[in-house]
Homo-oligomer: A and B are copies of this chain.
Amino acid sequence: MIRERKKKRSGPTRKEAILEMATVFFAEKGFRNTAIGDIARNIGVADGTVFYHYRTKEDLFVAVLENFKEELIRESRDYLAAGEFADGLEMVVGLIGFYLSLAARMEERFLLLHRHYPYQLAEANPACRRHLEDIYDFFASTYEQAIRRGQEDGSIRELPAHKTALIIFTMVDGLVRIGTYRLYQPGSLYDELVASCRRMLQPDKV
């Protein structure tokens, strides 16, 4: 079989192609409903090739999760580095908008986090658990920093920063989930969500 050279920068390597295709399938159909053969066939590769690069299906899943985590965190860091926020409260609002835009842009991949499988796997697989914790810790601590900043500059009232961060993150992530389920049309909730958070965080008027 004639195969394109691959080390010489001609697109993704096969290992990368497998990871990408696996991401699509795991997100869209779930772990159990994805056959290794689905992935292999879709990139024109033999089943065995998948197992050459990833020891087991589970390993492949964890690699997909790790890859997604890294992209998530990288993009978020970029946003935070570029963004200038008037105060802590505006930073919280900015983060909410960013998370929602990220979820819209990576809609398919976010499904990975909104399925039950990874959390189940996390109980038996420490690597999986670590990736999930990394993701949640990253966002929770980012919200927390914004809240503390707001408390210093007076845009946010005194309240437990960590707990409040978790509550806001839960809220925003829940909104994304509702959108995915298509039980409600979600888009219109954004403005109200931001307004609710402002009321929740702002100091009482004096």
Q: Is A97 an interface residue, CB under 8 A from the partner?
A: no
Measured between beta carbons, the chain B residues less than 8 angstroms from A114 are 116
**Size category, A interface:** 35 or more
In the complex, residue of chain B having the shortest beta-carbon distance to the beta carbon of A133 = B183
In the complex, residue of chain B having the shortest beta-carbon distance to the beta carbon of A135 = B183
**B115, A116: Cβ atoms under 8 Å?**
yes
A108 to B: closest C-beta gap in Å? 13
Partner of A175, one of B117, B170, B182, B205: B170
What is the oligomeric copy number? Answer: 2
Q: Is A20 an interface residue, CB under 8 A from the partner?
A: no
Q: Is A147 an interface residue, CB under 8 A from the partner?
A: no
Task: Give the docked Cα–Cα distance between A180 and B188 (Å).
Answer: 29
Partner of A163, one of B133, B136, B192: B192
Measured between beta carbons, the chain B residues less than 8 angstroms from A182 are 119, 123
**B170, A174: Cβ atoms under 8 Å?**
yes
Q: Is A189 an interface residue, CB under 8 A from the partner?
A: yes
In the complex, residue of chain B having the shortest beta-carbon distance to the beta carbon of A178 = B170
Q: Is A33 an interface residue, CB under 8 A from the partner?
A: yes
Q: Is A92 an interface residue, CB under 8 A from the partner?
A: no
Task: Give the docked Cα–Cα distance between A170 and B170 (Å).
Answer: 8
Q: Is A100 an interface residue, CB under 8 A from the partner?
A: no
A4-12, A36-44, A193-201: which one contacts chain B? A193-201
Give the contacts of A139-185 with B (CB-CB under 8 A).
159-160, 163-164, 166-167, 170-171, 173-175, 177-178, 180-184
